[in-house]
């Protein structure tokens, strides 16, 4: 193992000693200088997680979150130079972190917050004008064959808990007192401009959106949505996507000649 490997391993494992071969240019003790550097690295990574997961932090408190984040830093060191990508697996870590079991929806809140981070940093893509989308849909003789391309920031989340309500309650003073997290909720996350929005949607709408994202035609997506929920409302779901600039292209399915 190289000195660089030893350095990285000791940097992220607090109980390991200062690696051999280090020296200080001003004659200071290398071990003490390394300890300061290691503490700064840990603190920076924990702070990055706190900034990316503000509601997750508030649900368990600063002390608990930072202790949990410290364990995560040791178990899951960064693998990208982009700090915005760090913490991508925090929700999975929380799912297996036994001390967090007292807040069973904590992992799903972390998943929702990660989707918001991804949406914020997703590539820019000009959405279609709302009127243009409506005209295209209304002007087709076979609208079911259309394929809708969705904004790169768009994502959905299924949860057994009211994740959207929990997240929204922490954006408004006084809303937490009336919160009931113990029912399933489905979330839609999408960015318009620099604003990331979160909506609660039904199961049929989630299925419809996911099907479109997978490249299915409008007709195929509607069929899958109705299989998931007989109460699926196509017009309501399309209105949500159109009004929040989530559609970037409308393609006519090319029919292959026999």
Of 137, 10, 9, 112, nearest to 54 by C-alpha is 112
Per the structure, the count of domains in the chain is 2
Residue 257 lies in a domain: yes
**φ/ψ of residue 7, rounded to 5:** -65, -45
In this structure, the answer to whether residues 130 and 99 fall within a common structural domain is no
Instruction: Note the pLDDT tens digit of each residue in 161-219.
Output: 999 999 999 987 765 656 789 999 999 999 999 999 999 999 999 999 999 999 999 99
Q: How far apart are CA 45 and CA 37, in angstroms?
A: 12
Residue 218: CB atoms within 10 A of its CB come to 23
Q: Which residue has the tokens 């040791």?
A: 74
Interval 141-167: pLDDT, tens: 788 899 999 999 999 999 999 999 999
Are 145 and 176 in a shared domain? Answer: yes
Residue 163 domain flag: yes
Q: Which of 36, 42, 39 is nearest to 70 (CA)?
A: 42
Q: Residue 12: which pLDDT band, with cuts at 50, 70 and 90? A: confident
Q: What's the chain's average pLDDT? A: 89
88 and 175 inside one domain: no
Q: Which residues lie across from 62 on neighbouring strands?
A: none
Residues 91 and 149 in one domain: no
**CA–CA separation, 46 and 37 (whole Å):** 14
Predicted model pTM: 0.89
Domain boundary among 56, 71, 103: 103
pLDDT tens string 16-62: 777 776 767 766 677 777 777 788 889 999 999 999 999 999 999 99
Say yes or no: 96 and 37 in one domain: yes
pLDDT value, residue 176? 64
C-alpha to C-alpha distance for 235 and 165, rounded to whole angstroms: 24
Note whether residue 97 is domain-resident: yes
Examine residue 39 and state whether it is found in any structural domain, yes or no. Answer: yes
In a domain, 141, yes or no: yes
Residue numbers of the domain that contains 27: 1-103
Tell me if residue 82 falls in helix, strand or coil. coil
């Amino acid at each position: 193992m190289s000195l660089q490997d030893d350095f990285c391993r000791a940097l992220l494992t607090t109980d390991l000693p200062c690696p051999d071969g280090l020296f200080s240019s001003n004659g200071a003790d290398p071990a003490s200088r390394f300890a300061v550097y290691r503490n700064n690295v840990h603190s920076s990574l924990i702070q990055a997680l706190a900034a990316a997961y503000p509601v997750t932090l508030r649900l368990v408190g600063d002390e608990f979150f930072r202790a949990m984040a410290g364990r995560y830093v040791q178990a899951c060191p960064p693998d990208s130079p982009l700090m915005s990508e760090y913490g991508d697996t925090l929700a999975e870590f929380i799912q297996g972190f036994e001390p967090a079991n007292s807040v069973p929806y904590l992992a799903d809140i972390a998943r929702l917050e990660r989707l918001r981070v991804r949406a914020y940093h997703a590539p820019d893509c000009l959405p279609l004008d709302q009127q243009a989308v409506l005209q295209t849909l209304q002007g087709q003789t076979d609208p079911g064959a259309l394929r809708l391309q969705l904004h790169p920031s768009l994502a959905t989340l299924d949860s057994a808990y009211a994740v959207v309500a929990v997240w929204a309650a922490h954006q408004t003073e006084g809303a937490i007192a009336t919160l009931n997290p113990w029912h399933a909720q489905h979330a839609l996350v999408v960015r318009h401009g620099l604003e990331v929005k979160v909506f609660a949607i039904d199961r049929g709408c989630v299925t419809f959106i996911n099907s479109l994202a997978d490249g299915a035609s409008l007709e195929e997506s509607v069929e899958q949505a109705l299989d998931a929920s007989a109460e699926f409302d196509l017009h309501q779901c399309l209105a949500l996507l159109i009004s929040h600039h989530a559609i970037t292209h409308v393609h006519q399915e090319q029919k292959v000649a026999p």
